[in-house]
Amino acid sequence: MADFDLIIRGGTVVDGTGAAPRRADIAIRDGRIAAIGDVGASADQHIDAGGLIVTPGFVDVHTHYDGQATWENRLDPSSGHGVTSVVMGNCGVGFAPCRPDERGMLVDLMEGVEDVPEVVMTEGLPWNWQTFPDYLDALQGRQFDVDVAAQLPHSALRVFVMGERALTDQPPSADDLARMRSLTAEAVRAGALGVTSSRNLLHRTKAGDLAPSLHSDEAELAALADGLKDAGSGVFQLIPAPMGDAREEFALMKRLAQRSGRPLSYTLIQMPTGDESAWRVSLDELTQAAAEGLQIRAQVAPRPVGMLYGLELSFHPFALHPSYRQIAHLPLAKRVARMRDPEFRARLLAEQPQDSNPVYLKTVKAFAYAYAWTDRAEYEPHPSGRLDRLAKAAGLSIEEFAYDLLLRDEGRALFYLPGANYRDGNLAAVRQMIGHPQTVVGLGDGGAHYGMICDASFPTYFLTRWARDAEANERIDLASAVAALTSEPARLAGLNDRGHLAVGMKADLNLIDFERLALQLPDVVYDLPAGGRRMRQRAEGYAATIVSGVVTYRDGKPTGALPGRLVRGARVVQADARIA
């Protein structure tokens, strides 16, 4: 009988603690790391990791797989980028708790906020739950290619407690607040990792109505904080008002953290317009909060927070034009053929976008500031290539200039808008944010924005852009970069049984050809329920990904193994962090 289930031999171990890389073998038994060092024993399986770095599996604390986890076993695209644990239910949106007559409200909200098509949810969601503990029970029996943890979403909770009143500015009653507090504690005790909310006015239904959480005041957010306090566990995740006063928003978050006695994480980005100093103010306040002993962390993105346009995607310059809407249901090839018709072209160019959702109208108009992608994903485009500038140089309107570009590659052309985090045409703000000791890499949004955003590739981008390809004066050393993707987000979420390589820790690992690591261009696949489409972005360089000691991916291809399970609540493990 072999001593171990698996031994990974000869790799350069980057253990997730920030310690210097070193050569070591890693032995795994029963889903846990059993030995690290010069392991001479036998095993049922051996992997030669010579020339590879061996890291912990990546932990993504900001995803929206709440629906996908109920109908699919592979949480792609995150699982294709070394992620072995995901935390969903962010931004206050999700599908539980929910009564049967409230389902439509949550579907409308998820369609508007997270760009998940209504038909996909109608076809895919089993709705075999009502309460949040019911939802966890429904996930308990499922198998995945990663581990899954959930948070309680405020908007769903508000609807569950207040019904249709949740969609208005009518304040909750004292009984409503008490109920929200009680249900928050109940959800955390059942295994939720925390509660989430949003103050972002861009979060609306497809029709343009505000998300329920945006009708709440501080007293209601305090009720959620009290629920965490009652449970004695969990994290409060919040999106502050992006265009609000940075100091006032941070002061609110401080009060919530003080009230709950629990960690709080929030979204921090450099906005493309408005107060340029806001993100710097937030970082300063974050530093002060840490000095005061408060557990507040900012979730930051390692590149521009942008979106993609194209005829196969949710938005492009003509997506909201009346004539285009008449053909939007057609297969791509037929749409392209119609758009090549001179009469149709003239009619479309003469129209203006129309929609009840102001965010959608703004999104379509912002196409003018996008850049065309050709053979590579260019996240730091040169300002001279911006479409409005090219159109002006050509003496054309942005619509005329973009029309033929959209039809390139038979309608599969992609356009990228680097919105937030790219205000000055560079990533200087990003480098400062990711380098702050109280920030965590997040905001990848895997499982959402199927036709707009493909940022679940953040881990791969972070390693290549900042730990390998950056200029020496801005490069992040590899050990620190790996910690930023592993132990730091794990610690924030309370998943303390993973995130670094030590004896006793969960055996989630990546074997990476660091020099070969690269991102491919996103593509579109139609594999969601009801034939719904989504973007995916593949990576090269992941030799293997391992979850609970089982190989789930080899050279970027799934093995078919599904060792991932629901994670209920914070995890604690006694691990020996020493490497022999």
Instruction: Read off the pLDDT of residues 343-400 as tens digits, 9 standing for 90 and up.
Output: 999 999 999 999 999 999 999 999 999 999 999 999 999 999 999 999 999 999 999 9
- Give the Å distances, CA to CA, from 508 to 4, 191, 376, 513, 515: 16, 21, 30, 17, 22
DSSP 3-state of 138: helix
Specify the residue for token string 């309370």.
Answer: 494
3-state DSSP helix/strand/coil % of the chain, to nearest 5? 40, 20, 40
Contacts of 423 (CB under 8 A, 6+ apart): 270, 271, 272, 276, 429
Beta bridge partners of 13: 22, 54
Residue 82: alpha-carbon gap to chain centroid: 14
pTM value? 0.96
Alpha helices in 72-173 (DSSP H): 103-114, 118-124, 132-140, 154-162
Q: Which helix (H) or strand (E) holds 567?
A: none
Contact 26, 7 (CB under 8 A): yes
The domain defined by 59-304+422-493 carries CATH number 3.30.110.40: no
Q: Is the peptide bond before 97 cis (omega within 30 degrees of 0)?
A: yes
Tokens standing for residue 129: 């739950």
Query: Given this model, what pLDDT does residue 577 score?
Result: 44
Q: Which residue positions in the chain have pLDDT lower than 70? A: 573-580
- 181, 229 contact by CB (below 8 A): no
Q: What is the pLDDT of residue 72?
A: 97
Are the CB atoms for 250 and 285 separated by under 8 Å? yes
Q: Where are the beta strands (DSSP E) in 374-458?
A: 414-420, 439-441
The whole-number pLDDT of residue 340 equals 97
CATH, domain 4-56+505-558, list 3.40.50.720, 2.170.130.10, 2.60.260.20, 2.30.40.10 = 2.30.40.10
- Please choose, from the candidates 192, 139, 86, 196, the residue with its C-alpha nearest in 3D space to the C-alpha of residue 498: 86
pLDDT at 113: 93
| pLDDT tens digits, one per residue of 249-295 | 999 999 999 999 999 999 999 999 889 899 999 999 999 999 999 99
In the chain, where are the structural domains located? 4-56+505-558, 59-304+422-493, 308-418
Q: Record the tokens describing residue 405, joined without a space.
A: 């570009």
C-alpha span between 238 and 130 (Å, rounded): 24
Beta-strand ranges (E) seen in 231-349 are: 235-239, 264-267, 296-300, 305-309
pLDDT for 1 equals: 84
Note the pLDDT of residue 579. Answer: 40
Contact 502, 16 (CB under 8 A): no
Note the pLDDT of residue 578.
43
Q: Are 378 and 371 in contact (CB under 8 A)?
A: yes
Q: Are 14 and 483 in contact (CB under 8 A)?
A: no
pLDDT one-digit tens code per residue, 308-351: 999 999 999 999 999 999 999 999 999 999 999 999 999 999 99
Q: Which residues contact 560 (CB under 8 A, 6 or more apart)?
A: none
Name the DSSP letter for residue 83: E
